Amino acid sequence: MNSYQMYIGGEFTSGATTKMMDVYNPATGEVFAQVPEATRQDTQSAIAAAREAFDKGDWRHSTGIQRATVLFKIAAALRENATRLAELETLNMGKPLTESEYDLADAATCFEYFGGWATKIFGEVNPVPDNAISMTMKEPVGVCGLIIPWNYPLLMAAWKLAPALAAGCTMILKPAEATPVTVLELAKILDKIEELPKGVVNIVTGYGEVAGAELSENYSVDKVAFTGSTEVGRLIMKAAADTNLKKVTLELGGKSPNIFFADSDFEAAVEGALFGCFVNQGEVCSAGSRILVQKPIYEKFVEAMIAKTKMIKVGPGMNRDNKLGALVTTEHLERVSGYISKGKAEGADLVYGGERLGGDLANGYFVSPAIFAGVNNQMTIAKEEIFGPVASVIPFEDEAEAVAIANDSPFGLAGAVWTRDIFRAFRVVKAVRAGILWVNHMQPTYCEAPWGGYKQSGTGRELGRYGIENFLESKQVHINLNEGPMGWY
């Protein structure tokens, strides 16, 4: 069994903690690694290391080329180690190996993309009316707490580390308690990069209520970038408000509508409905878990969904035949199963799946993908984020009703619309209040394009140029060009 240490101030350490946390393989229910359970004191040590590294200035005053070099080295090492890291991701998180391989490639691309930004951070000259030059200079925001969820462990780390490094920040990364392994493997990669000063990246493992809370409450942390549940996002914003008003960006939950009009390409649409909802076991913030289907094709659509879902193989992610892996933890399996029971109790029609799988799979956390038909938007399964392979198929009459249902949610992360009518597609894109809208597709995500939510799905945007802005402050500099006194007194 692998035993890991944390990474603080450029050293691998178990910190002051005496406790280790078990890390499970969700496909077997077996413990396959152990990591330290960081205390508040350990987290404070990591914050102090990041503060010292920031204040010392080697990193924040480094050139763009120097930072870009580091980012490209990280990307290259991720690509070199992609096979091993993808296997570890699947063993730790449960997702199919092919998906972990995509994630690894995406993570490397993310470091390359922000490596490009490191040399392109510059301010502007503001056209003020006086005999003066007003400039805006860009500077790193400072010490950053990066708190991430378990659904894309290494990729979510990359989304935050890469822009923070490119901007010249120093940081403390806290992975989710269930999935720390690939992030701690990344620490080994970082440690070998000589150009990266000690203390710029620190990694602590531990519980959200301890290590995560310390990051959001600590006065030496200038910014928290968080991805996770809306509930915890609220706590982080509150902690920031009650302490040093640190900057906060939040990427939170969703309940995204995937809208299918009767004129859409039927085969592509059915596949898009399943992919949108079941990829990564449905453990996706932008999962298209509300599948809105226009009435003339509703019955046929549900039947086609069932027929195709029957062909989805569920089982250990390490077996390449399996398209749907284990849910991340036994607690999460309980949670998802609870929603399935609630759907049935509230009168939705479970037309396929939704069962805990036994036999060879009994020790793992497997559930068959569930399709609920006859759902209305007021049911719990249509309102709350399930974060599992549970599809709610909701009928609608016309465009106005589809938009009204789509917007009837406290969330606003993403949505998709399927139609051959370009005018309708754009009307719906403009009418749905969400941060990401796809037309005739669902889920593709690019480092080059912004990601984030409206309403209770978060504040701010990651990726693209917004991603780098998140880790920069703007300083206005005024240079007086008039010689001599002002003549005011």
Binding site for ligand NAD (CB under 6 A): 147-151, 174, 176-177, 208-209, 212-213, 216, 227-229, 232, 235-236, 251-254, 285, 385, 387, 413, 453, 458
Cα–Cα distances in angstroms (integers) from residue 258 to residues 270, 391, 406, 416, 444, in the given order: 11, 10, 8, 5, 14
- Comparison of 93 and 393: residue with beta carbon closer to ligand NAD: 93
Q: Extract the runs of DSSP E, i.e. beta strands, from 374-429.
A: 390-396, 411-412, 414-418
CB of 423 to ligand NAD, least distance (A): 30
CB of 291 to ligand NAD, least distance (A): 18
Distance CA 31, CA 222 (A): 36
CB of 250 to ligand NAD, least distance (A): 8
Active site residue: 144, 169, 285, 447, which one? Answer: 285
Distance CA 412, CA 32 (A): 37
- Comparison of 62 and 227: residue with beta carbon closer to ligand NAD: 227
- Comparison of 25 and 216: residue with beta carbon closer to ligand NAD: 216
Distance CA 6, CA 8 (A): 6
CB of 361 to ligand NAD, least distance (A): 23
Taking phi over 0 as left and psi of -120 to 50 as alpha, with beta for the rest, 443 belongs to left
Active site residue: 251, 283, 385, 469, which one? Answer: 251
- Comparison of 216 and 392: residue with beta carbon closer to ligand NAD: 216
CB of 115 to ligand NAD, least distance (A): 22
Distance CA 93, CA 83 (A): 15
Distance CA 133, CA 170 (A): 31
CB of 202 to ligand NAD, least distance (A): 15
* Strand pairing class (370-373; 349-352): antiparallel
170: CB partners within 8 A, 6+ apart: 50, 51, 53, 54, 59, 60, 142, 143, 144, 199, 200, 201
Q: Are 169 and 70 in contact (CB under 8 A)?
A: no
448 noted as active-site residue: no
For residue 475, list its beta bridge partners.
137
Closest-by-Cβ residue to ligand NAD is: 208
- Comparison of 226 and 261: residue with beta carbon closer to ligand NAD: 226
251 noted as active-site residue: yes
- Comparison of 106 and 177: residue with beta carbon closer to ligand NAD: 177
Residues tagged active-site: 251, 285
